[in-house]
Structure 1
Amino acid sequence: MLSLVLPGISQAQNATPPAAPAKPIVFTNFRLFDGKSAALRDGLTMVVDGSSIGQLRQGQPASTDGSTVIDCHGMVMMPGLIDMHWHSLLAALPISTILQADMAFVHLAASAEAERTLMRGFTTVRDAGGPAFALQQAIDAGLISGPRIYPSGAMITTTGGHGDFRALSDFPRSGGQISVTEKEGGSAIADSEDEVRLRVREQFVQRASQIKMVGCGGVSTPRSPLDMLTFTEKQLRAGVETAADWGTYVLVHAYTPEAIQRSLAAGVQCIEHGHLMDDKTAEMMAKNGTWLSIQPFVGEDDVAPVSGPSLARMQEVLAGTNNAYTLARKHGIKTAFGTDLIFSAALATRQGTMLAHLTRWYSAAEALRMATGANGQLLALSGLRNPYPRKLGVLEEGAYADLLLVDGNPLDNLNLIANPDQNLRVIMKDGKIYKNALPV
């Protein structure tokens, strides 16, 4: 697939990705949100040398000879944003197109959406299921513009579980037959412990940084009710153990208390969604130190249009959002920010709006820490499979030089992030400036 897709990917971009700077970049006259602190810091100078932050110190530099100096005009500098639940190949196209189109077209659309994602200030995403390996490789090679991608590969599910989009004509499965969706890497069906191990290992061969497993039904899969359970505890544990053998972790799609508790018993380190959890389950998560990667769905504007049984499931998830965040705060669960915006290019533009939704439960500083420093901590769980081993989500010496310059103070008004075209004046990733709209 890579050889078929790459020749056309660069044509989908609006501009050639920038080259690495020939000399260090010195930022002056900015206010710093570092991804860790609750307040801004003033009077600092930052030196970006290559792809990382070489210096971050109080006062003016001793010398700027041989450097490019950028005056930030008193604007707020913050880390690049991280979306912990993104689907790089599913974000920009309707599901009907994804299931029926040539996959080369899907990859081309994803490459264009990757650039738009970066221009919204999201410099890193964790891909929570799909064949994003070629896209990641093209971005890292500088062929196209886009965020860093932590790929999970195909989401591993069971017969009838969320992600099983097979037609009824594909049943019964026999021998080594697999469906088109499986061949393209969207999902992988596993119905035994040995099949789980096999499917997990297949993702690692393709350079997955972590593994996505499905613990219950989902909204968009037509025949998987939310209350159904997929893997047994032993099957989930087989995935967890295999991921640990490769030095990384498993994230599990789970909405209900039963699915979450089974995942916890199997040693899962990150729960995706969790919107229907109860107080007992939240307490268990906090006690175990398990991450909750949840999305702030507060209304139908935050999700792709659905109908039939999927509509009822979507409304159930929306109704559970407030309670889930309230429980997460009550019990002090380690909470990550993600959006899960899929099947619509218009919906994908709401990444910043989704972040602003968090102020229903958190201060702006807490929300920004979640989308930067906290998310960076969760990314680091990929351990030996981490494709980007320096720190992400924070601005400190030695961290990746991923930063945004905001016209206004997002700690006072988080809605500034929802209008990136106007309010994000500088976007830097990996030490390269992808946008500079500072006054001359």
Structure 2
Amino acid sequence: MSRSTPNSRLVIRNVSVFDGLSDTATDARDVLIEGDRIAAVSQSPIGDAPGTDTVEIDGGGRFLMPGLTDAHVHLMGNANSYLDFVMGATGLLVANTLAEAKRMLYRGFTSVRDMGGDTAPLKTVIDRGDFEGPRIFPSQAMISQTSGHGDFAFVYETPYAFGGGPSRTDSIGFTRTVDGVERVLTAVREQLRKGASQIKLTIGGGAASMYDPLYTLQFTPDEMRAAVNAAEDYGTYVATHVYTVPGIRRAIEAGVRSIEHGHLADESTVALIGEKGIWLSMQPFAEDDHHYPDPDRAEKNRQICHGTEDVYSWAKKYGVKVAFGTDLLLEPQSAARQSVMAARMGEFYSNAESLRMLTSGNAELFEMAGDRNPYGAARLGVVAPDAWADVLLVDGNPLDDLSVLSDPDTNLKLIIKGGQIFKNTL
């Protein structure tokens, strides 16, 4: 293991380059990294720079690609169990989250969009170099109505509107439970004040939540439009947790620009998503990705997973912009399935399509945050001059066999983020 500084000049020699955009990888190339950016991708050997120290790595003909991305993570939720949330000390929650951020980077995920949790402070210390982890596009607290998908209050607790206090998950910034246009506006603006790059609303039922069947519609059209307007006033957008046709169509009418999940959509609704140019940020769920001992939640999970294959098929048919995400939550022991789920995309798309989605495709969605994009100074998800120097060197060719990504400990030989070497086992 070695660490370079972002000010080093680094040459990775003799690598086959997948640029994040193409169907194929190039023959042997040299890749030059200067500081935190890619400076050149050259078919000819890159020489020394007199007076400048150069670190050289022989790639041995291996596969070099952009860092992986995940469009739907919950770093805090991924790192902590339900009992951690309701009984653990706040310091433990934060420490667990920092530890998971490091593990996520070492799985090769160099940029993620966090869809619920107080991760802007985490982003700050990672970007500062104090801790290891991916680039983070934080949504801050996921905003829910009372008795909605993000309401983790106990039944006996009094709601805000009746004079009650915050639930445990509200108090630590994982959720924000509000009702009515005025409070929705305040909640959106609060997350923007705390550093959100985009806004997350939960507008339908889910498997992990306690009170809401999948069929429920959450937040009125007026509440949703208020959130959309407040986000647009800050140059960004709203993404919504929702599975069902009525919920998706209500979100589209309100101006939402990213549908999170959507597994219970029908063909005409998927076609509408494509027609409107809205993103479908979906997850290749299988039933064993989550474990619900409660029969009702297990049944909801089964229904969600059952819709996965059809929705991907329709999305391809209608040219929908699809992002890859994982949405692993409240089961820290399952966090490493992130890599397995990335490789699983090959069951629904070609390997090249999957790799593009895992790199430049997700990056296009991230960049929809506009001026709220914290990494807008350079491109993400590509191997090209002037892009962020976030690259992986893989032992194996994911264009031939996507499953090599499912074992990052063995197959990721080099992990670089922002020009800094985090892993080098060559």
> Which interval holds the TM-score relative to the shorter structure?
over 0.9
Report the alpha carbon displacement of residue 39 of structure 1 after superposing the two structures with TM. 0.3
1:338 to 325, 330, 336: 325
Report the alpha carbon displacement of residue 255 of structure 1 after superposing the two structures with TM. 0.2
SS in 1 for 2:75: coil
1:136 to 103, 118, 123: 123
CA change 1:283–1:22 in 2 (3 A) is: closer
CA change 1:21–1:244 in 2 (3 A) is: closer
Report the alpha carbon displacement of residue 132 of structure 1 after superposing the two structures with TM. 1.1
- Contact 1:133–1:207 (Cα < 8 Å) also in 2: yes
Percentage of matched positions with identical amino acids: 41
Q: Which amino acid aligns with 2:195?
A: R
- Could you tell me how far apart the structure 1 residues matched to 2:293 and 2:46 are? 55
2:75 to 78, 88, 109: 88
What residue is the counterpart of 2:21 in the other structure? 36
Report the alpha carbon displacement of residue 172 of structure 1 after superposing the two structures with TM. 4.3
Give the paired residue count. Answer: 422
- Tell whether 2:8 aligns with 1:23: yes
2:312 to 296, 300, 325: 325
- Tell whether 2:125 aligns with 1:123: no
CA change 1:18–1:134 in 2 (3 A) is: farther
Report the alpha carbon displacement of residue 64 of structure 1 after superposing the two structures with TM. 4.9
Q: Output one character per residue of 1:361-408: Cα deviation in whole Å (capped at 9) or x when no partner.
A: 111111010010100000000001111112111111111000000011
What residue is the counterpart of 1:198 in the other structure? 186
CA change 1:272–1:314 in 2 (3 A) is: same
Structural mapping, 1:218-257, within 5 Å:
218-257=206-245
- Tell whether 2:339 aligns with 1:352: yes
Report the alpha carbon displacement of residue 84 of structure 1 after superposing the two structures with TM. 0.5
- Could you tell me how far apart the structure 2 residues matched to 1:325 and 1:306 are? 28
- Could you tell me how far apart the structure 2 residues matched to 1:372 and 1:73 are? 23
- Contact 1:220–1:306 (Cα < 8 Å) also in 2: no
Structural mapping, 1:4-403, within 5 Å:
18=3, 20-65=5-50, 66=52, 67-173=54-160, 174-175=162-163, 177-300=165-288, 302-389=289-376, 390-403=378-391
- Could you tell me how far apart the structure 1 residues matched to 2:26 and 2:363 are? 21
- Could you tell me how far apart the structure 1 residues matched to 2:291 and 2:19 are? 33
- Contact 1:304–1:347 (Cα < 8 Å) also in 2: no
Q: Which amino acid aligns with 1:32?
A: V
Report the alpha carbon displacement of residue 138 of structure 1 after superposing the two structures with TM. 1.4
Gaps of 5+ in 2: none
Report the alpha carbon displacement of residue 322 of structure 1 after superposing the two structures with TM. 1.1
- Could you tell me how far apart the structure 2 residues matched to 1:161 and 1:263 are? 15
- Could you tell me how far apart the structure 1 residues matched to 2:41 and 2:159 are? 61
Report the alpha carbon displacement of residue 57 of structure 1 after superposing the two structures with TM. 2.5
- Could you tell me how far apart the structure 2 residues matched to 1:244 and 1:183 are? 26
SS in 1 for 2:156: helix
Between stretches 86-95 and 158-167, larger displacement belongs to 86-95
- Could you tell me how far apart the structure 2 residues matched to 1:416 and 1:203 are? 38
SS in 2 for 1:255: strand
- Contact 1:391–1:399 (Cα < 8 Å) also in 2: yes
Report the alpha carbon displacement of residue 259 of structure 1 after superposing the two structures with TM. 0.5
Q: Output one character per residue of 1:405-431: Cα deviation in whole Å (capped at 9) or x when no partner.
A: 001111101110111111000000010
- Contact 1:161–1:230 (Cα < 8 Å) also in 2: yes
- Could you tell me how far apart the structure 2 residues matched to 1:204 and 1:172 are? 24
Between stretches 173-182 and 161-170, larger displacement belongs to 173-182
- Could you tell me how far apart the structure 1 residues matched to 2:348 and 2:231 are? 33
Q: Output one character per residue of 1:30-62: Cα deviation in whole Å (capped at 9) or x when no partner.
A: 000110000011232211111111122321124
Q: Which amino acid aligns with 2:86?
A: L
Report the alpha carbon displacement of residue 177 of structure 1 after superposing the two structures with TM. 3.3
SS in 2 for 1:275: strand
- Could you tell me how far apart the structure 2 residues matched to 1:95 and 1:369 are? 34
- Contact 2:72–2:114 (Cα < 8 Å) also in 1: yes
SS in 2 for 1:85: strand
